[in-house]
Amino acid sequence: MIFTSLLSAFLAVAIYKYVEPPCGLAVTDSNGQPVYTRYGDDILFSGDFQRTFLSSEPTDFTSAAERVTTAVVNIRAMESGSYRLWGSGGVGSSSGSGVIISPDGYIVTNNHVIEGGNRYEVTLNDHREYNAKLIATDPSTDLALIKVDADNLPFLVFGNSDSLRVGEWVMAVGNPFNLVSTVTAGIVSAKGRSIDILEGDYTIESFIQTDAAVNPGNSGGALVNTNGELVGINTAIITRSGRYEGYSFAIPSNLAQKVIYDLKEFGSVRRGLLGVKIGPVDTRIAEELDLPAIEGVFVSSVVPGGGAYEAGLKAGDVIIGVNEVKVKSIPELQEQIGRLHPGDKVEVHFIRNGEQMTIKVTLRDENHRTGFVLAEDTDVLERHGFDLRELTVIEKRRLRTRGVFVDKIIKGSIIASTAMDPGYIITKINDTSVNSVAEVVELLKKNKNKEVILEGFYEDYPGEYYYTFRVK
């Protein structure tokens, strides 16, 4: 009887697998349409361009490859009038890959692919060629956005890089050695990798590591899941020979999407910062602080005036999560914060004196501002020679006033000629009260080619101070 039961169960499962076709995961609304999520109000990041559920299970890449290869392009960055060891005609060039992310011609690639050129040529999978214009770049994440003048182009849908799991199949598509649509496959080897290849104070390295074969010409190409969704931008390899040796790295799509949105909308990345200096958690720190595991991010110091400072985070705290997302390392923390803007509020989970705690932090930019400052607004401030920020909550409470803080003054500038010093707090411009950098910029724009009077004070000196200059 036992033998008959086992045989019957085995045959039932075998027959079911033979008869029933393979199934995948699909999430639909009441009308049977796929469920999407919006990112801002821009069409690039609205419903039709991003799905957020898990990638599909099949390991057959044929369908995905057919969709993806048409949306991956070759990019040549040329520098007219320069001479290099190789090349001809007095024009230096480099090449890489790019991914079309909208039907009207927006293309994402790596910054290092295009940074050496001033002219850009894009070749599509069907051999059509276009000249592209540079929209903006972000060296801190090694991303760039360019655009070709075309319509109805094939494009890739953003996938959810957070749903990737170690061991999951992925496919890399690019144009190494100028070969059109080269496809390789591998698995996700690790997530949240930092390999110290980017330079700068605000770099974010939280790469997806795979063993899909990636060569130099793959830079800027697509990393997709088995459903053909964009989950990463191929960026780097670790190699001793200059060629592929088994380790390749891609920028997660969830981070790339935020950067691309900012580049398109603002011309630069609006990066929210916690306002802390951090380090890894090692065995010694874990033992001294009685941590439950050797993981998290150690807060070595807190920046005065930053969001963490105002919220009450202290040196010696260990951050273990952001917005219910667990963070085990510095790259994981940087990626989560790097997706947010100044002014965004985040829940920071941390351990202090052996106790788990949570606080809400309002992110600020590098100048402690919470609002957006457009590139053109920054130009207005730089043209006159000063850098401004909003007063912090603590400063407003202590000074019992509202205004804008002068953080830096450039020597030889219009503002420097007024004898103003850093630390000046602007409260009015031409008798109009100001409470934000945006309000100051707007008033300067309205009074172009006219004289304005700044009214304000210094915290450590009594009385009001006035400065007059002509707006350029």
Q: Is residue 66 part of a domain?
A: yes
pLDDT of residue 178: 63
The answer to whether the beta carbons of residues 39 and 48 sit under 8 Å apart is: no
Q: Is residue 192 part of a domain?
A: yes
For position 382, which CATH number holds?
A: 2.30.42.10
Last residue of a domain, one of 362, 391, 412: 362
CA-wise closest residue to 386 among 422, 427, 419? 422
End-to-end CA distance of the chain: 95
Are 347 and 200 found together in one domain? no
Q: Is residue 318 part of a domain?
A: yes
Per-residue pLDDT of the chain (472 residues; tens, 9 = 90+): 888 888 888 888 778 766 665 554 444 444 444 444 444 555 555 545 555 445 545 567 888 888 899 999 999 888 765 444 333 344 556 788 999 999 999 999 999 888 878 889 998 988 899 999 999 999 989 999 999 999 899 999 888 888 889 989 999 998 866 667 788 888 999 988 887 777 766 788 889 999 888 877 788 999 999 888 999 999 887 766 666 667 889 999 999 999 998 888 888 888 888 989 999 999 999 988 888 889 999 999 998 878 898 889 999 999 999 998 899 999 999 889 988 888 888 999 999 988 999 999 988 887 777 766 666 666 788 888 888 888 877 788 888 888 999 988 888 899 999 999 999 999 999 999 998 888 898 899 899 889 999 999 998 888 999 999 999 8
Task: Name residue 348's amino acid.
Answer: V
pLDDT of residue 451: 92
Is there a catalytic annotation at residue 142?
A: yes
Are 161 and 75 found together in one domain? yes
Task: Name residue 249's amino acid.
Answer: F
Global confidence as pTM: 0.70
Catalytic-role residue among 97, 206, 219, 329: 219
Are 61 and 183 found together in one domain? yes
Q: Is residue 367 part of a domain?
A: no
CA-wise closest residue to 312 among 386, 394, 236, 232? 394
> Cα separations (Å) of 410 from 38, 174, 369, 370, 428?
41, 45, 19, 23, 21
Catalytic-role residue among 142, 262, 317, 377: 142
Are 134 and 57 found together in one domain? yes
Is there a catalytic annotation at residue 219?
A: yes
What is d(CA 432, CA 469) in angstroms, rounded to the nearest whole number?
16
SS3 37: coil
SS3 50: strand
Q: Is residue 49 part of a domain?
A: yes
How many structural domains compose the chain?
3
Q: Is residue 9 part of a domain?
A: no
Are 242 and 345 found together in one domain? no
What is d(CA 35, CA 408) in angstroms, rounded to the nearest whole number?
48
Q: Is residue 205 part of a domain?
A: yes
Query: Read out DSSP for 378-390?
Result: HHHHHHHTEEEEE
Q: Is residue 211 part of a domain?
A: yes
Domain that includes residue 348, residue range: 276-362
Are 382 and 354 found together in one domain? no
Is there a catalytic annotation at residue 55?
A: no
Are 305 and 157 found together in one domain? no
pLDDT of residue 34: 46
CA-wise closest residue to 210 among 228, 200, 224, 227? 224
Last residue of a domain, one of 220, 248, 266: 266
Catalytic-role residue among 97, 112, 248, 317: 112
CA-wise closest residue to 135 among 228, 324, 262? 262
Last residue of a domain, one of 247, 266, 285: 266
For position 225, which CATH number holds?
A: 2.40.10.120
